[in-house]
Amino acid sequence: MRLHKYFLVLLASFSAPSLAKADTINFTVTITQQQNLHNIPVGTVYTGFAHYDGSIDPNFTGFPPTLTSYGFDFPSAPDSLSDFKWEFAQRHDIGQPLFLGLMYIDYSYPGASFDIIANNFETILPYSVTNESVSYTIGEIGTVAYSYTADPPSSVPEPASLLLVGTGLVTGLNLRRRQNRRA
């Protein structure tokens, strides 16, 4: 009889909502100054978002969360996170709001490359690129503002969890059947 109670507790724990989730960093870029280029008028606004894996405070331990997807309506923005020279979410200090670090290098036309780091946006003209660094001149400059959306936890169990529960139930029923044969 005790075995039956353990399986009910196990089943109830797997049917509870999962705590895994992905939160969203929304960002708005406003062009504030033209320097070496005059491709983008001052006052132009672009918007984007980045999803990251983590909990309510994913950087509480000091480790930044991993970006899982993003979108940005800047004309030359890449379609995938893998196209960036580097991409990350970080904080100035633990407990402070997250900011993005995104650098995209594109030699197709001037001002196609850009860099977002914290509250600064720059279109850049790269002239030297290595694995660890980029040398460039600045085209246009803008400011970045952030807002955050906490996505609700998923209430759907993962397939692996369902498989684990099923395996446990089959094993438990088999043990129960053996105990009944002995009695």
In this prediction, residue 44 carries a pLDDT of 97
In this prediction, residue 20 carries a pLDDT of 45
- Cβ 92 vs Cβ 60: under 8 Å: no
Please state, for a pLDDT cut of 70, what percent of the chain lies above it.
Answer: 68
Token reading at 43 = 């006052």
b/e map of 104-139 (b: 16 or more CB within 10 Å)? bbeeeeebbbbbbbeeebbbbbbeeeeeeebebeeb
In this prediction, residue 160 carries a pLDDT of 61
In this prediction, residue 140 carries a pLDDT of 95
Angle at CA of residue 87, ends 86 and 89, nearest 5°? 145
- Work out the end-to-end distance of the chain between its first and last CA atoms, rounded to an integer number of angstroms: 14
Dump pLDDT digits (tens) for 33-84.
999 888 899 999 999 999 987 654 444 555 667 788 999 999 999 999 999 9
Q: How far is CA 177 from CA 166, 169, 182, 183, in A?
A: 16, 12, 9, 10
| Pairwise pLDDT comparison (121 vs 16), residue with the higher score | 121
**Residue 18 reports pLDDT greater than 50:** no
In this prediction, residue 9 carries a pLDDT of 46
**Residue 30 reports pLDDT greater than 70:** yes
Token reading at 121 = 């946006």
**Residue 174 reports pLDDT greater than 50:** yes
**Residue 133 reports pLDDT greater than 50:** yes
User: What is the C-alpha to C-alpha distance for residues 50 and 58, in angstroms, rounded to an integer?
Assistant: 14
Query: What angle, 0 to 180 degrees and rounded to 10, lies between the N-to-C axes of helices 2-15 and 159-182?
Result: 170
In this prediction, residue 179 carries a pLDDT of 74
Given pLDDT bands bounded at 50, 70 and 90, which one contains residue 182? confident
Q: What is the mean pLDDT of the chain?
A: 79
| Pairwise pLDDT comparison (104 vs 165), residue with the higher score | 104
Given pLDDT bands bounded at 50, 70 and 90, which one contains residue 180? confident
CB neighbourhood size of 153 (10 A): 12
Strands in 67-72's sheet, in edge-to-edge order, are 67-72, 45-53, 22-34, 134-149, 120-129, 113-117, 98-104, 86-91
In this prediction, residue 61 carries a pLDDT of 54
